[in-house]
Amino acid sequence: MAEKSCYDYRIEPQDVDFTLRATIPALGSAILNTAGIDAHGKGFGVDALNAGNHTWVLSRMALEFDRLPGQYTDYTIATWINEYGRVLSTRNFTLTDAAGSEFGRAVTQWAMIDLASRSAVDLSWVGDAHAEAIVDIPSPTEKPRKVRAVMPTLRAEHRVVYSDIDFNRHVNTLRYIEMMLDLLPLELLTEQAPVRFDVHFLRECRYGATLTIGCESKERGAAFEICDEQGTAAVRASIEWK
Amino acid sequence: MAEKSCYDYRIEPQDVDFTLRATIPALGSAILNTAGIDAHGKGFGVDALNAGNHTWVLSRMALEFDRLPGQYTDYTIATWINEYGRVLSTRNFTLTDAAGSEFGRAVTQWAMIDLASRSAVDLSWVGDAHAEAIVDIPSPTEKPRKVRAVMPTLRAEHRVVYSDIDFNRHVNTLRYIEMMLDLLPLELLTEQAPVRFDVHFLRECRYGATLTIGCESKERGAAFEICDEQGTAAVRASIEWK
């Protein structure tokens, strides 16, 4: 049975906003990069999968931050996979500062797709082939919550450009997160209260598409829906400050 | 007399586009982060300056890449300051792969501004106070070229949002670069030919401003101008593939 893997980071100047504390997208980026590095190192990264014409696709994500650490804070991201279902594998994360205090955690759920058909692949064989990579430790918080239909009170349009897309020619996860959070007032984004952010990725958006980002304002947060030209939801999310 | 300082990096999955080679903004970001880390380590970083109510502002930049390295390429950025003028200091960079082959270089020119008045400060005292940081090695390529008035053949609008701004509440350098390059066709952006990119930062743009990005198409490149609501040029740039 494997153990958690740990990766060291520092909050760099490009990770902070004008309050000099890390942004949610910057920490989200470090979390997702950790997933990539860990999978790569263990032999089931995107590069290894591509050889077999498969790739990982992030399906759902829950991020929780008790506080957003300041510039130059050293921290460690621990990550472990504790579940391979037929369709989704679950990868977990905790974020801990140098004093050993946990300030954040994440649960992500990933599907494997076939690059030709872009449809989901049965993951059972991965669970068997990489059983030694499974760590028998529960997820550090509740799994990503479902986000129901959103009734936008605010809308923005965005045409997908070169700097939005990833190696797959689809909008990269961080850009979706930025598009949604950018609709919130600065006062909420710089709140010094614990925050939880749930995101569901329903459909991939491609280069050149014009997306509509809808935001439904709530008392201490918001719900979001990103739709393609046909009005089909591609991403739904909700954020809540305590 | 000081020597060049070297920092090691790797082209990570988040640094590449769908051709699996590094993007110009990703390498530009590594270059600018190197400037920040090096200045911080030597005691004249943004954090030290802020204490005296000053900060560094990037005024001009020239980037040259002979080729864009592939994912997981290890490389080293060497950096050195070789000049403190009254208004601008010059910081240089070379990018070299693990085999010792130089594949890129940059020359950046920085002004120091007073945070209260946001006007330039005489740099002579920095040249004196940090004379030991000056390295007597010429810049690795021609200094940033002047970009004359641009006659846009293509325009886009962009409202400055939270994820565009830096610790100063101004649009961060990388976002300007992305806004401009995003107007180019994918065929040019994924060209496998040497490229040179010159950028002049003329004025700072703030949160909430609506910017117009103009692009004048040229035979093997383009010129750009980013203007604020008043039509005043904030950034001018030109890019050319060999």
A61/A28 Cα distance (integer angstroms)? 10
Q: Tell me the one-letter amino acid at A148.
A: R
**B132 and B164 both lie in a single domain:** no
Tally of domains in chain A: 2
Q: Answer whether residue B157 shows pLDDT above 90.
A: yes
Q: Where among A97, A115, A144 does a domain terminate?
A: A144
Give residue A65's pLDDT: 98
CB-CB contact of B160 with B206 (8 Å): yes
Contact (CB<8Å) A162/B168: no
Do both A59 and A115 map to the same domain?
Answer: yes
Query: Residues A160, A136: one domain?
Result: no
ipTM reported for the complex, 2 dp:
0.90
Which of B27, B37, B167 best probes binding to A when mutated, by most A CB atoms within 10 angstroms? B167
Partner residue opposite A162 with nearest CB, options B33, B163, B182: B182
DSSP label of B115: T
Q: What is the mean pLDDT of residues A21-32?
A: 96
The one-letter code for the residue type at B226 is: I
**pTM of the entire predicted model:** 0.92
Give me the phi and psi of B213, to 5 degrees please: -105, 115
pLDDT of A34 higher than 80:
yes
Do B140 and B169 belong to one domain?
A: no
pLDDT digits (tens, 9 = 90+) for A201-215: 999 999 999 999 999
- Looking at the fold, whether A116 and A153 belong to one and the same domain comes out as no
Asked whether the beta carbons of residue B162 and residue A189 sit closer than 8 angstroms, the reply is: yes
Quickly state the pLDDT bin for B1 (edges 50, 70, 90): low
Instruction: List, for residues B172-229, the tens digit of each pLDDT value.
Output: 999 999 999 999 999 999 989 999 999 999 999 999 999 999 999 998 999 999 999 9
Give me the pLDDT at residue B116, please: 87
* Nearest chain B Cα distance for residue A55, angstroms: 13
Looking at the structure, tell me whether residues A15 and A126 fall in a common domain.
Answer: yes
Q: State the residue range of the domain holding B198.
A: 145-242
Residue A126, pLDDT above cutoff 80: no
Measured in degrees and rounded to the nearest 5, phi and psi for residue B185 equal: -70, 150
Q: Using alpha carbons, list the distances in angstroms from residue A160 to A163, A172, B81, B121, B182.
A: 8, 10, 38, 40, 9
When pLDDT is cut at 50, 70 and 90, the band that residue A1 belongs to is low
Q: What is the pLDDT of residue B233?
A: 96
Chain B positions in Cβ-Cβ contact with residue A68 (cut-off 8 Å)? none
What CATH number should be reported for the domain holding residue A55?
Answer: 3.10.129.10
Q: Are residues B9 and B127 in the same domain?
A: yes
A133 and A33 within one domain? yes
- Per-residue pLDDT, averaged over A6-28, amounts to 94
pLDDT of residue B148: 87
| Pair (B120, B179) in one structural domain | no
Q: Is there a contact between B219 and B242 (Cβ–Cβ < 8 Å)?
A: no
Boundary (domain end) residue, out of B91, B113, B144: B144
Residue A234 has pLDDT above 80, yes or no: yes
- Which positions in chain B have a beta carbon within 8 angstroms of at least one beta carbon in chain A? 12-14, 16-18, 20, 23, 25, 29, 32-33, 36-37, 46-47, 71-72, 161-163, 165-169, 172, 174, 178, 181-182, 184, 186, 189, 207
* B185: its two tokens: 């066709």
For residue B163, give the nearest of A12, A181, A207 by CB distance.
A181
- A82 shares a domain with A9: yes
Q: Provide the mean pLDDT of chain A.
A: 93
Q: Same domain for B73 and B180?
A: no
Q: Is A101 found in the same domain as A29?
A: yes
Which of A144, A176, A193 represents a domain boundary (last residue)?
A144
